[in-house]
Amino acid sequence: MREIVNLQVGQCGNQIGSKFWEIISKEHGINESGKYTGDSDIQLDRIDVFYTEVAGDRYVPRSVLIDLEPGVMDCIKGGPYGNLFKPDNYVFGQNGAGNNWAKG
């Protein structure tokens, strides 16, 4: 069995990663809350490669979202697939990397 852990880093990585999970979720028949709503057994055949099954027959992406500021994370959380991720998969700081050259 193969398991993939996805790391989404920075603004660009998180924006691309959130679209990736949206597409993968549709392919596997997973709705915005992590429930299986598909219509084919093939969709569940290798679902454990990308997702972990948690209590309540819910699937959670095996992904860590990383950024230096919470802005992009807030957009993902507020988006249609924001409830798909576990809250402890979000890792972010309070200050961004903007103007770091002036702080040195």
Whether 104 has a pLDDT exceeding 60, the answer reads no
Which of helix, strand or coil describes residue 12?
helix
Whether 99 has a pLDDT exceeding 90, the answer reads no
Please, what is the end-to-end C-alpha distance for the chain in angstroms? 47
Stronger pLDDT, 94 or 88, i.e. the higher one: 88
Whether 96 has a pLDDT exceeding 80, the answer reads no
Determine the pLDDT at residue 94. Answer: 78
State mean pLDDT over 89-96: 83
pTM: predicted TM-score of the whole model, two decimal places: 0.85
Confidence class for position 5, pLDDT limits 50, 70, 90: very high
DSSP per residue, 82-101: GGGS-GGGEEE-SS-STTGG
Helices 10-28 and 71-78: crossing angle in degrees, nearest 10, is 20
